[in-house]
Amino acid sequence: MRDRRGERSRRLRRHCAAADSTRTDDRGQLSLTVVEAVVATLFVLAVAAG
């Protein structure tokens, strides 16, 4: 029984680590999306002004 509990806690730790990694990746993707939106907006404004 102790071995199974140990395996379960290890799995939970791995799952939490994977979730943290996913959250970090999502933040990076969100930042990239915001930057892309700003660049696109500036491009549209430059074309409209020119």
**Digit-coded pLDDT (tens) for 12-26:** 666 556 666 666 678
Provide the mean pLDDT of the chain. 77
- For tokens 């140990």, what's the residue? 6
CA 12 to centroid of chain Cα atoms: 20
Q: Which residues of the chain have pLDDT under 50?
A: none
pLDDT at 41: 98
CA distances from 37 to 16, 22, 33 (A): 31, 22, 6
